[in-house]
Amino acid sequence: MAGNLYVVAAPSGTGKTTLVRMLLDSEPDVRLSISFTTRTPRTGEADGVAYHFIDAAEFRAMIGRQEFLEWAEVHGNFYGTSKKWIADQLSAGADVLLEIDWQGAQQVRKIFPQAIGIFILPPSMEELERRLTGRGTDSADVIARRLAAAQAEMRHVEEFDYVIINNRLEEAFADLLAVVRASRLQFAKQQVRHAALFARMI
């Protein structure tokens, strides 16, 4: 396949969403996979933009037809990634980015072992706690649970190809951009994307 599949995972509070948004803004050839979900749309969320909103019966039918690359149930709602959409995008030469957790990443690698895993780490647990507290949206108990969950997630960091430590946002973004751009220069990718050139020169 000509395109690359990037799987970006990180604990809550590490700046993953901000980094992904910066990447999508600067690299129009990278397309964010839009998940299917059974949860109710929030104010301002449009179908096909934030998520593909479907009911539980249709979601279960899609599971039965094995249409998901990965799926999970979170807080009573289902979330899933279309296998066909990603395969079509990669075959067409587009790069696709999945913003999922480590469990989803494990499911993805079973079908797309060539997926490029990128894990975002905070510079320290103290800094992660400061960031979570600074949001001002969660109680002390919720923050404590998020920190415990973060430590559990970070134990899977070795399953990923690249690790970016988000100490300074601009530096972390430069690292993420470097991974994306370097991966496009791999021989196998260049040979497919520039087949005519290779045929004339080699």
Tell me: the pLDDT tens digits for 118-177? 999 999 999 999 999 988 778 889 899 889 999 999 999 999 999 999 999 999 999 999
Tell me if 156 sits within 8 A of 102, measured CB to CB: yes
Position 27 confidence tier, pLDDT thresholds 50, 70, 90: very high
> What integer is the mean pLDDT of 48-53?
91
Q: To the nearest whole number, what is the mean pLDDT of the chain?
A: 93
Per the model's pLDDT, the better-predicted residue between 43 and 165 turns out to be 165
pLDDT of 104 > 70? The answer is yes
CA distance 92 to 134: 42
Position 1 confidence tier, pLDDT thresholds 50, 70, 90: low
Question: 96 is in which domain, residue-wise?
Answer: 5-201
For position 164, which CATH number holds? 3.40.50.300
> What pLDDT sits at residue 121?
96
Give how many domains the chain has, as a whole number: 1
Q: CB-hemisphere CA count at 13 Å for 84?
A: 6
pLDDT of 195 > 80? The answer is yes
Position 93 confidence tier, pLDDT thresholds 50, 70, 90: confident
The CA-CA-CA angle for residues 103, 59, 45, to 5°, reads: 85
> What integer is the mean pLDDT of 72-100?
92
